[in-house]
Amino acid sequence: MVLQSEMYDVTIVGAGPVGLYATYYAGLRDCKTKLIEMYPQVGGRLISMYPEKEIFDVAGHMKILARDLITQLTDQAMQYRPTVVLGERVTGLRVRGERVIELSTPNGRHFTQTAVIAVGCGAFVPRKLDIPHLIDLEGHGIHYYLPSFEPFRGKKVLVMGGGNSAVDWALSLEGIAAEVTLAHRMYKFQAHEAMVDRLLASKVKVLFPYFALKEVLGEDRVTGAVIWNERSGKEERIEVDAIVLSIGMLTNLEPFRQWGLNIVGSGIAVATDMSTNMPGVYAAGDIATYPGKILLISAGAGEAATAVNSAKEHIDAGDLGR
């Protein structure tokens, strides 16, 4: 194993929007900064899964494409010349001593005085349904995220779900797809109210509430779907070319638990200064949890600044004690 012995002040794990902003703020605070990202490029899920998605929860932007937001955040973060390590997944974290944290990856070890974990939802996979033909047709009309809208031009698309991603995708596909249907099984939408209002005023056909996907039709590709109302039992066959399942993600937080971090619910528990139960280790963004938590990029940016500010105070306190 390669020993990367150079010590950094702050190491950010995860180069999504929150990690990029944490990198910028660490540079602004004159910290020697390293950024480690498991993907071969920065941007996290916004680039790998949603590059054409419109983002509405960033201060100063009425709306902005995900890829454009990442471009701007990257330019902002790189101005202080952080060390950037791409294509490496952090597999271990140990506090080795006072202000010495070791981060392990398959390629070596990284040492830092403090660490900020900003890995979004952590290791995750899309939630799937146990219904006939769904697994067989993945990649042939079954989709869990949309890196590009153009392949859906002129097609009939069914979107399953009622959260922000499902509603945003249905609205984005309107005018590109020939027809868009959104079906949601819950009794209310989980998306932002203004976006639901836009959806209901659009040409998207909305099946709501209690509408679930019962069966996928087609042999070599998706040709249709059976939708049923779970309350009335009434079924409806619809002709579709593609089905987008936006029904949530399953996260694996066990690696963080094994590191010794306190896991509460679906995230790493943090205090008001974004500190975890491990000295010198902070968390920000979707992976961090505390009472009153909201999952917004703008909120995550504030958490990133708080985490880096706390890390800086932790470093300075050690310097004063020497």
- Residue 170's pLDDT band, with cuts at 50, 70 and 90, is very high
Give percent of the chain above pLDDT 90.
73
Report the run of H or E that residue 19 belongs to, with start and end: helix 17-28
- What pLDDT is recorded for position 210? 87
Computed over every residue of the chain, the mean pLDDT equals 91
- What pLDDT is recorded for position 184? 94
- Residue 263's pLDDT band, with cuts at 50, 70 and 90, is very high
Q: What is the model's pTM? A: 0.83
Q: Report the Cα–Cα distance between both ends of the chain, in Å, rounded.
A: 32
Q: What is the mean pLDDT of residues 37-57?
A: 87
Greatest Cα pair distance, the chain, in angstroms, is 73
Alpha helix (H) residue ranges in 115-263 = 164-173, 193-200, 254-259
Tell me the pLDDT tens digit for each residue of 277-286: 999 999 999 9
Closest CA to 113 of 36, 32, 35: 32
Query: What are residue 50's phi and psi, to 5 degrees?
Result: -130, 40
Tell me the pLDDT tens digit for each residue of 231-252: 998 999 999 999 999 887 777 7
User: What does the block give as tokens for 72?
Assistant: 């701007």
Report the run of H or E that residue 267 belongs to, with start and end: strand 267-269
Q: Hey, what domains does the chain have and what are their CATH numbers?
A: 3-124+249-320 (3.50.50.60), 128-245 (3.50.50.60)
Query: What are residue 179's phi and psi, to 5 degrees?
Result: -145, 145
Whether 219 shows a pLDDT value over 60: the answer reads: yes
Distance separating alpha carbons of residues 151 and 2, to the nearest angstrom: 43
Burial of 81 (0-12, 13-18, 19+ CB in 10 A): exposed
- What pLDDT is recorded for position 93? 96
Distance separating alpha carbons of residues 97 and 48, to the nearest angstrom: 36
> Any idea which residue has 């506090």 for tokens?
95
- Residue 123's pLDDT band, with cuts at 50, 70 and 90, is low
Q: Given its phi and psi angles, is residue 108 left (phi above 0), alpha (psi -120 to 50 degrees) or beta?
A: left
Tell me the pLDDT tens digit for each residue of 51-89: 888 888 898 999 899 999 999 999 999 999 999 999 999
Distance separating alpha carbons of residues 112 and 89, to the nearest angstrom: 16
Is 199 within 8 Å of 171 (Cβ atoms)?
yes
Give percent of the chain above pLDDT 70.
96
Q: Bridge-partner residues for 125, per DSSP?
A: 250
